[in-house]
Amino acid sequence: MKGRLEGKICAITGAGRGIGRVAAELFAAERAKVFILELDETSGKAAEKQIRVNGSLAHYIKCDVSCYDSVQNAFRQIEENTGKLDVLFNNASVYLAGKDKKISDIEPAIWSKVLNINLNSIYHCCRFAIPLLRKSGGGSIINTASSAAITGIPKCDAYTASKGATVALSRSMAVEYGPENIRVNCIAPAAIATDMVKQSNPDGDDFDTSAFINLRTPLRRWGKPDEVAKLALFLASDESSYINGTVIAADGGITISGDLSKPTPRTLQPHKKYQRYSKKGFAKRNVMAMEQ
């Protein structure tokens, strides 16, 4: 059976864990050759090994997306290996809990680090990916933003700035490169149950996770990494061939929710199919940093 990405060459940043890892496995299962661009060698090689064990094609390249030279080297390897590229998924991101703050309190080094990883990485990757996409006659670029790019969220101004810029950049690129058959779209996740959320977001006295999930989130549950990865798969495939310049929120309805009602036993109960994603333990974590 022909795969949805049959014969396509795909590069995914931050593909060693979380959404990136799931996307790499999903893309490969749909018959793409996947280049795993990941700084952490252990997770990058593990992703490559798992995909190959599953009988699909993958190649790990150690890459620091915040470093121009590192990215240039990665795409040089892709060009030498395949000569072209069909899909670029700019997934890598970072959220520095406790260090990213309101703009008047952020240390310059933290501001620079977040912007370098979350925003400059997109410039770096697109700078070298677009010539390879042209060799394929076009292709798809998928950028990862966040609900923080759509709604105002306090005490993480470097993160929100980087994600807001990602949305604006995606739209301008869609207009700029659309005539060359290069589509650019953006995914804005929120409340996705990844290890990054659990590791980088300590409990905070000023954040009520229960209210966030059980009131602000219409679906009353955490999202799953594969739910975002499947959206990326769609945008990577020819099924989305007339979709360009969109920002798709993968957030359970968080960014459009104006629900200010008091919780009731009914509204506090997630759909039984997803109850395990809202159990005590994970649901006590903050929800800001959804990517990767």
Residue of 216, 270, 198, 213 lying closest to 18 (CA atoms): 198
> Where in the sequence numbering do the catalytic residues fall?
159
**Rounded to the nearest 10 degrees, what angle do helices 41-53 and 18-29 cross at?**
20
Partners of 183 in beta bridges: 140
Whether the CB-CB separation of 248 and 146 falls below 8 Å is answered with no
Torsion angles phi and psi, residue 8, rounded to 5: -85, 150
- In 10 A of CB 259, how many CB atoms? 12
Ranges assigned E (strand) in 14-126: 33-38, 57-62, 87-90
The terminus-to-terminus CA distance of the chain in angstroms comes to 30
